[in-house]
Structure 1
Amino acid sequence: MTHTIGDLSRATQTKVETIRYYERIGLLAAPLRTEGNYRAYDDDALNRLSFIRRARDLGFSLEQVRELLALSDDKAQSCATVDDLARARLEDVERKIADLEALRRELSSLLTQCQHGKVSDCRILEALGPRSRS
């Protein structure tokens, strides 16, 4: 079955321009063209784009997606490299969560110091850095 670029876009919730970009950088093979010079994608292209989209949704970089695609194309090899990539991605996520939790604690602390007075006495603005007092 063949699909238009619009079909792929709708099926994977990926913008048409992003699909074209993935073609330009080699993540998706250039599709066959119809007599009218329209792109004609097969089911393999749809599956590959779905894979790319899911990997991107999980936060993998384009280079990591490229590596994951290469690994998925070689069914006989060990999945240790895939595990390593996923583990590294999880560590990135956990670092970001820790950073966000520290940010939440800091903002919460600033808000508890609020005395609902005037801006000239605002503890939050004071904590953000030096400013001139007039």
Structure 2
Amino acid sequence: MRISELAHASGLSLHRIRRYADAGLLIAARGQGNYRSFDKQAVRDARFIAMGRDIGFSLAELAELLPRYRRRTLTIDEMVERLQGRIAEVDRQIAEQQALRARLVDHIGWFEQRRARQRAAQPASPFQRPLKRSTKP
């Protein structure tokens, strides 16, 4: 099948399919006119790659998994273990982002305290003083 047919069948863009083929993840033969030609397995492979990318696997990790996926020797237990590893990585990233958030909140507090001290130390502007009312009728 041609690349456009693979794109339609897999739901991926032509750009992504070309990228995966250029990276060696999708196997394409070169046909007449040097066009890429994919077999039916490419649809399954493309979906596997897209799923893996969507959940954060690197292209290198997918390149490692694909041969066994194609041979159907990649087990559910191995995939669960890989997914649990991704969860651990996401949890680590969340912890880093929460720590960064806490530092940002601390910095905001420091700047707010500094602003309050500056305002307290500045003399009041004549425009900020209350107007004196005349007692004459």
| TM-score, L = length of structure 1 | 0.65
The equivalent residue for 1:40 is: 37
The alpha carbon displacement at 1:60 in A equals 0.7
Aligned positions, number:
115
Which runs of 5 or more structure 2 residues have no equivalent in the other structure?
119-137
The equivalent residue for 1:26 is: 24
One-letter amino acid of the counterpart of residue 12, structure 1: L
The equivalent residue for 1:3 is: 2
- Partner Cα distance (2:14, 2:24) in 1: 16
- Partner Cα distance (2:59, 2:107) in 1: 38
Q: Is the 8 A contact 2:4 2:14 kept in 1?
A: no
The alpha carbon displacement at 1:14 in A equals 5.8
One-letter amino acid of the counterpart of residue 3, structure 2: T
The equivalent residue for 2:58 is: 61
The equivalent residue for 1:102 is: 99
Residues 1:63 and 1:23: Cα distance change in structure 2 (over 3 Å): same
- Partner Cα distance (1:77, 1:40) in 2: 26
Which runs of 5 or more structure 1 residues have no equivalent in the other structure?
122-134
Q: Alpha carbon RMSD of aligned pairs, Å? A: 3.1
The alpha carbon displacement at 1:28 in A equals 0.8
The alpha carbon displacement at 1:90 in A equals 1.3
The equivalent residue for 2:84 is: 87
The alpha carbon displacement at 1:83 in A equals 2.2
- Partner Cα distance (2:14, 2:106) in 1: 40
Residues 1:14 and 1:20: Cα distance change in structure 2 (over 3 Å): closer
Q: Give the greater-gyration-radius structure (CA).
A: 2
One-letter amino acid of the counterpart of residue 60, structure 1: F
| TM-score, L = length of structure 2 | 0.64
The equivalent residue for 1:131 is: none
Moved more, 64-73 or 99-108: 64-73
